[in-house]
Structure 1
């Protein structure tokens, strides 16, 4: 029901019952559509257009002023790491590159509400990390972001509120900390003690009658190792034919009440 809900909010399909308002207006009305940025689950672009031409078309459709259009296009190409590939046809883009240009087109008109359907589809770990950073940055700038995703770890990291749908119905809804029940029996302690301190702490816990199930050294996650390896490769001057590193959100994005 996730994608169906989004299509109703966009006015692409109609609910069988009930009423829906988006930004104070019925879905699909021009006054609300111009304030919404949308990234569908599967982006479909004109394959013969370049990335730059696609953003120019999106900007014109969204009535971005001529005086701002080129500046926004260049800023977003820089953000998503596609400046070097901007004049290549989208039909030659990888799936991850198409996802990046899709994110850029969703932001070109500085929308108040940004709807992202499976935003990390087709992205490598670096792209996934960047999308999370962009979402956090947009939230800090006052944007409202609606994310549909089956990657629950990502949702937990970036969202303030969640709604769990099953069978076409909302089964649970609320702030993330309310949805996730606290487990008072399990604790994670992060530290870097030397061996003597660790041994002393372990013995103290046992003296207090605590049943220690396991104690093991931590390690980097595979995502952390991947990002570290790519960073080192770039520092050595190695390049890729795909998307570049990308950058921060452009200054023109901002305004509104933040929710994720």
Structure 2
């Protein structure tokens, strides 16, 4: 196994068979994959592409039909390697009548952690996922977003070297999604390796170093996100605000060397960035409406005092 590789598969295949042993479906076909230490790796694909099968093979929950899987230098079938793995499934199956403290203490016991270590780790994780205020509430009272956060804390209780995340932002609002992505990036900063599956491609683009796209059980695309998304056919020049005369001069210079259409426009932000800015600015300046660039800032929208606003509603 490559010394830098945390996950390595070679010609990995999985065939599901029916009751009589007849071949039913080939879920995975000769997958060759390496996930390096300290990177965030995205595993993408439509439903039925083989993502879940790959995760189960990595965890040792399924046995391959052909090929090999090594995790952290050990065969995937060696259950001892799971001591160094954290797993957040797409649906968190937690005990609803336990509170956050009891949940993390329970999972800490499964890893034979001492009482002092369980208590310390619980405090650290609840602070990280921002659930200190709800640590004594039963999980049945949690929203889906809060359940996702405690699920991540549970996956990290053993301070794992490898973290497997299946749809980590499922059920989270935009603020919670941003927090989750920041926590994933922080895991990389701590030297951990993260493999995540998600159908929210913007989340993958924001946090992943490399991605693999599966379809029909086969690997179709593999590479660094920035390189895969770069359009080599277009050259982009950016500058701070330019006058009309400066823009005309730049266009004239480019026109000497290129006969194609020259497009001059302002860069576009993302809806997520706009949403986060609006919510954060709202907390700093309650009652004031955000005025997008280009609108008349001399005539801002009128806002009612909080008491009148409540009366209007």
What TM-score results when the alignment is normalised by the length of structure 1? 0.81
Q: In 2, distance between residues paired with 1:199 and 1:58? A: 65
Cα 1:32–1:219 change in 2 (3 A) is same
Q: Shift in Å at residue 110 of structure 1?
A: 0.5
Cα 1:147–1:160 change in 2 (3 A) is same
Alignment of 1:28-43 (within 5 A): 28-43=77-92
Deviations 1:22-62 (A, max 9, x none): 22223353420110000001112111111222111111112
Cα 1:86–1:227 change in 2 (3 A) is same
- Which sections of structure 2, spanning at least 5 residues, go unmatched? 1-49, 287-313
- For 2:161, the equivalent position in structure 1 comes to 112
Deviations 1:174-204 (A, max 9, x none): 44455x1753321333332232333432343
Cα 1:91–1:190 change in 2 (3 A) is farther
Cα 1:16–1:126 change in 2 (3 A) is same
Deviations 1:140-189 (A, max 9, x none): 221111111223333233222322211112223344455x1753321333
Tell me which structure has the larger Cα radius of gyration: 2
Farther-moved stretch of structure 1 (126-135 vs 97-106): 126-135
- Which sections of structure 1, spanning at least 5 residues, go unmatched? 238-260
Q: In 1, distance between residues paired with 2:149 and 2:268? A: 31
What TM-score results when the alignment is normalised by the length of structure 2? 0.68
Alignment of 1:67-216 (within 5 A): 67-177=116-226, 180=228, 182-196=230-244, 197-216=246-265
Give the structure with the higher percent strand. Answer: 2
Q: In 2, distance between residues paired with 1:219 and 1:182? A: 16
- Considering Cα pairs closer than 8 Å and 6+ residues apart, tell me whether 1 or 2 has the greater RCO: 1
Deviations 1:194-243 (A, max 9, x none): 32333432343335444335322234322112212232344469xxxxxx
Cα 1:167–1:103 change in 2 (3 A) is same
Q: In 1, distance between residues paired with 2:75 and 2:166? A: 21
RMSD: 2.4
Q: In 1, distance between residues paired with 2:285 and 2:230? A: 45
Q: In 2, distance between residues paired with 1:93 and 1:123? A: 12
